Amino acid sequence: MLTQLNKMEEFKRTEIASLGEFGLIDHLTKHVEVKNNSTLKGIGDDAAVLDYKEKQVLVTTDLLLEGIHFDLTYVPLKHLGYKSAVVNFSDIYAMNGQPKQITVSLGISKRFSVEDLEQLYAGIQLACDVYHVDLIGGDTSASLTGLAISITCIGEANKEKIVYRNGAKENDLICVSGDLGAAYMGLQLLEREKKVFAGEKNFQPAFEGREYLLERQLKPEARKDIIKELAKRNIVPTAMMDISDGLSSELLHICKQSHTGCRIYEERIPIDYQTAVMAEEFNMSLITAALNGGEDYELLFTVPLAKHDDISALPGIRIIGHITAPSLGAYMITRDGAEIELKAQGWNSLNEEN
């Protein structure tokens, strides 16, 4: 998939000014076709028009800024487009809903050519195709500095099926899909290669055997499949979030909003082999990467204890602990039986990066 995304045609450079703002939007969106019945009117008017009938409407939004959320030295624009869309879909799945439409607003400096934006849009379009989502509008304007991408995703859900963060109950099982920490390790790997070989042209970085880490960082997927499996088995989680800021941070959100505590077990936290090898190589704490790394876009959810067997039968889901009374706090039990209090480190970009 990564290779497929990398097939870029970088020969031509058309200046954006040659198309103008409206011309550019027309050019980038000319292949957009409507896929969902709920999309009555997409691009081309003051607002898009949607018909959700008896369904509830879910809305989520993200603003991604160059230098803060992404680094174009190692992120291809097509991947960036794909990821920007997918992380929004992930928020809708985390409500137990289905993403249906997105709007995309771009702020672009003249460093970017029309072909660059075609790549970005190709990634967004691919994500829309894979997840069956309609691109219904947006806004394109100049930016004095880097690239700014603002995406809003609209989705649908049945009222009785929506899962909030505040429904976790004492003794509920805490579940996680997939594995954690790989996206963070992928980022460390990209950052290292960038630093070590800065300025050296035609350099092939040492990514072999680490494709999974790169894919998790550069081209994450939203867990549509898990939502589908849960629905098929009539399991409605009591609380759910997607893991974008790290397991610790998200779990604390659920505990805070549900007025509960929690216990999770270090040995139960799912971690991929490549993540572990990389942490070793970097001499970093593996469990810290899994707890606080972020950008995993896996689902974190709680289910009643009675669902234990149903959940255990689900491939790709790990039960990592249980919800407790609020007075017991939020702790991880380490392999040697010690209790470590969970902290919301996450990606606090407002502190770290500025």
* Rounded Cα–Cα distance for residues 85 and 93 (Å): 13
Q: Does 183 bind its own copies (CB under 8 A)?
A: no
Which 8-state DSSP code applies to residue 54?
T
* Rounded Cα–Cα distance for residues 217 and 343 (Å): 23
Task: Select 11 or 22, whichever has its Cβ closest to its own copies.
Answer: 22
Residue 338: count of CB within 10 angstroms of its CB: 10
In the chain, the N- to C-terminal Cα span, in Å, equals 34
- Rounded to a whole number of angstroms, the minimum distance from the CB of residue 258 to its own copies is 12
- Rounded to a whole number of angstroms, the minimum distance from the CB of residue 351 to its own copies is 5
Give the helix ranges, DSSP H, for 202-246: 211-218, 224-232
Q: Does 160 bind its own copies (CB under 8 A)?
A: no
Q: What is the pattern of x (binds its own copies, CB under 8 A) and - over residues 23-62? A: -x---------------xx--xxxxxxxxxxx-xxxxxxx
AA letter at 24: L
With CA atoms as reference, report the closest residue to 343 among 241, 236, 237, 245.
245
Interface stretch with its own copies, choices 70-78, 107-115, 189-197, 207-215 (CB under 8 A): 107-115
* Rounded Cα–Cα distance for residues 241 and 63 (Å): 19
Binding-site residues for substrate sit at 69, 295, 347
Q: Does 272 bind its own copies (CB under 8 A)?
A: no
Q: Give the residue, chosen from 8, 34, 71, 105, that forms a contact with its own copies under the rule CB under 8 A.
A: 105
Interface stretch with its own copies, choices 72-80, 131-139, 314-322, 327-335 (CB under 8 A): 131-139
* Cα 171 to Cα 198, 291, 303, 324, 338, distances in angstroms: 51, 21, 9, 6, 21
- Rounded to a whole number of angstroms, the minimum distance from the CB of residue 163 to its own copies is 9
Interface stretch with its own copies, choices 161-169, 171-179, 205-213, 271-279 (CB under 8 A): 161-169
**Cα angle 39, 43, 47; round to 5:** 80
Q: What is the pattern of x (binds its own copies, CB under 8 A) and - over residues 7-26? A: ---------xx--xxx-x--
Q: Give the residue, chosen from 4, 144, 199, 200, that forms a contact with its own copies under the rule CB under 8 A.
A: 144
Q: Give the residue, chosen from 80, 126, 236, 241, that forms a contact with its own copies under the rule CB under 8 A.
A: 241
